[in-house]
Amino acid sequence: MTDDARREYHRPVHRPADTFDRRFGSTDPAEVSRAAHATASALLTRVRDEPEGEVVDRLVSFTDTHGIDTLAELWSHSPALSLPGALWRLYLLQLMVRRDARTAALLYERGRSALGTVDDVVAGAPTPAGPEELMALVDEILRGVFTGDFAVALERAASFCRVEAAGSLDLADDHDVAEPDRAAGFTTRALRLDTYAAELTACAGLWRRDSLT
């Protein structure tokens, strides 16, 4: 990256959504980490201070328009228990549902029946929750990041992950004998979602202690 490019990147962000429109090509881990934390903090602070509807809409639908690559470049290498790490996981969760809402809905309904906890209530999905309802739910959770209680949004996302994970495990059991490869795929998905749930819950606790950076 040239000196001119670095100066351009580190200029103050005047429009919140512009944070995502900049590319960062450094391979220095320390510089990448600083950029990740700076962009996440600037974005969240500016939008939450002035939550304009059009800006929030752009952020909620960002991956529909731009894909996930820009976010991956900014945040994917961040620690799980950090502000950019939390935001990265929320966008990944939204993308997972949008890419295959039908499967997500199936897993959610199976998980709701199998789990037997308050997570379904905390996540806030309607009953029953079809593909359209789940896409609306993950958008609502992400919108809450910018316009509501950030910790609550993280906790809702964590509960959603736990319900989906339980559904994945339940479906894996169905295919364990006849389709072991498919069962393994659902088991892997369940483990990933369960990990996200634990990480997002921990991030919510850190946020409430003003320690999520």
Q: Confidence class of residue 16 from pLDDT cuts 50, 70 and 90?
A: very low
Share of the chain above pLDDT 70, in %: 87
Give buried/exposed letters for 50-69 (b at 16+ CB in 10 A, else e). Answer: eeeeebbebbbebbeeeebe
Output the pLDDT for position 111. Answer: 97
Q: Is residue 49 part of a domain?
A: yes
Q: Is residue 71 part of a domain?
A: yes
Report the chain's mean pLDDT, rounded to a whole number.
87
Output the pLDDT for position 114. Answer: 92
Parent domain of 142: 3-208
Contacts for 139 with CB less than 8 Å, ≥ 6 apart? 60, 61, 94
Output the pLDDT for position 53. Answer: 87
Three-state SS sequence of the chain? CCHHHHHHHCCCCCCHHHHHHCCCCCCCHHHHHHHHHHHHHHHHHHHHHCCCHHHHHHHHCHHHHHCCHHHHHHHCCCCCCCHHHHHHHHHHHHHHHHHCHHHHHHHHHHHHHHHCCCHHHHHCCCCCCCHHHHHHHHHHHHHHHHHCCHHHHHHHHHHHHHHHHHHHHHHHHHHCCCCHHHHHHHHHHHHHHHHHHHHHHHHHHHHHCCCCC
Phi, psi for 177 (deg, rounded to 5): -85, -50
Output the pLDDT for position 1. Answer: 41
Whole-number Å distance between alpha carbons of 175 and 182: 7
Q: Is residue 213 part of a domain?
A: no
Share of the chain above pLDDT 90, in %: 70
Instruction: Out of 12-21, 134-143, 168-177, give the one with best mean pLDDT.
Output: 134-143
Q: Confidence class of residue 22 from pLDDT cuts 50, 70 and 90?
A: very low
Q: Confidence class of residue 21 from pLDDT cuts 50, 70 and 90?
A: very low
What mean pLDDT is predicted for residues 167-174? 94
In this predicted model, what pLDDT tens digit does every residue of 150-166 receive, in sequence order?
999 999 999 999 999 99
What mean pLDDT is predicted for residues 47-71? 90
In this predicted model, what pLDDT tens digit does every residue of 76-122 receive, in sequence order?
999 999 999 999 999 999 999 999 999 999 999 999 999 989 999 99
Q: Is residue 168 part of a domain?
A: yes
Q: Confidence class of residue 27 from pLDDT cuts 50, 70 and 90?
A: low
Model confidence, pTM: 0.85
Q: Domain count of the chain?
A: 1
